[in-house]
Amino acid sequence: MTVGGSDLPVVNPATVAKAPAGGSHKGAPRGGRVRRLTGNDRIVVFTMVIVPLFLTMVFVVLPAIASVVLSFASWDGIGGISTIKWVGFENYKNIATNYPPFWPAIRHNVLWLVVLFFLATPLGMFFAVILDKNIRFSRFYQTPIYLPVVLSLALIGFIWQLQYSRDFGLINAILQFLGLQEPDEAIDWFGDPDIAIWAALAASAWRHAGYIMLLYLAGLKGVDPSLREAASVDGANEVKTFFSIVFPVLRPINIIVVVITVIESLRAFDLVWIINRGRTGLELISALVTTNVVGEASRIGFGSALATIMLAISLVFITIYLATIFKEEEQ
């Protein structure tokens, strides 16, 4: 894959039509539809459109299309394209009817989204609001909440394994120390499929809340203090001020928070992969894709079909999001 500078379309300034004299956009009639760009402007705009477009095509759109195409194939990745056997919807049929981890994975992905959206994100926002109050030692509180965001997910997975280990974990040790649990009744946090997903979600929420907290805190610092003063002069209490004044003002940040939450829950992968490769109770579509595609004798077609399903689910959310944004822009 060569995406060097030489491959990029470069516009030769000499060939670009000269802008009329004095035709900088400053001089263009205000509100007029015609905007004339100088040669340099054109180059900049052209480059800024073409380069990202090219990169998106090569790294996002084409692989996505390839995945969709390959999802109708049976191929172990060995040999040329001629060795690919086309099997129609066989992979999808198998996924739905003949692949036990699939439906749990769908449930877990949805659960992941719901928990991050309704628990972790509000929690992060709550932390931000509290810390924004200029209470004493706020920086001290801020650090441990934000710390997990700095740590790599691989490290987070490792940290939580130490907490959750059935025989040697901190949580069971504390429970036993407090006399709340007998050693033979130790809770198998990551082994019991009914508990594992919640244990993993707690670890994920721990990190996500910190992330949202930081984003939101930055937003809150930018809120014009006079707005709050005005609200308090009008007799609004803290809660009312937040929901009626601050929250609407922070709309751009809110959108970012929503988008990040959706993205994070759809791409949730690292944590479960570190914990147990996304097995027994921690099945996620992304982990199933990896299990099937990466490795020695890969099920390229089957994995691609799973990836396509994930793409379809993502598209639902992306469409809803974009539709909402465009609708609001129009208003």
Interface residue list for other proteins (CB under 8 A): 74, 76-79, 85, 87, 90, 94, 98-101, 164-168, 184, 186, 188-193, 196, 276-277, 279-280, 291-292, 294-299, 301-302
Give the nearer residue to other proteins in terms of CB position, either 121 or 286: 286
- Taking the complex as a whole, the smallest distance from the CB of residue 194 to other proteins amounts, in Å, to 10
Q: CB count, 10 Å around CB of 274?
A: 21
- Taking the complex as a whole, the smallest distance from the CB of residue 62 to other proteins amounts, in Å, to 19
DSSP 8-class letter at 73: E
- Closest residue by Cα to residue 108 from 265, 290, 314: 265
- Taking the complex as a whole, the smallest distance from the CB of residue 95 to other proteins amounts, in Å, to 10
- List CB contacts of 311: < 8 A, sequence separation 6 or more: 64, 67, 68
- Taking the complex as a whole, the smallest distance from the CB of residue 189 to other proteins amounts, in Å, to 6
CA distance 205 to 209: 6
Give the nearer residue to other proteins in terms of CB position, either 45 or 170: 170
The string of DSSP codes covering 167-216 is TT-HHHHHHHHTTSS-GGG---TTTSHHHHHHHHHHHHHHHHHHHHHHHH
- Taking the complex as a whole, the smallest distance from the CB of residue 292 to other proteins amounts, in Å, to 6
Give the nearer residue to other proteins in terms of CB position, either 39 or 104: 104
Place of tokens 């949202």: 212
CA distance 266 to 261: 9
Hey, what are 104's tokens?
């749990």
Give the nearer residue to other proteins in terms of CB position, either 142 or 280: 280
Give the nearer residue to other proteins in terms of CB position, either 84 or 128: 84
Give the nearer residue to other proteins in terms of CB position, either 125 or 287: 287
- Taking the complex as a whole, the smallest distance from the CB of residue 195 to other proteins amounts, in Å, to 9
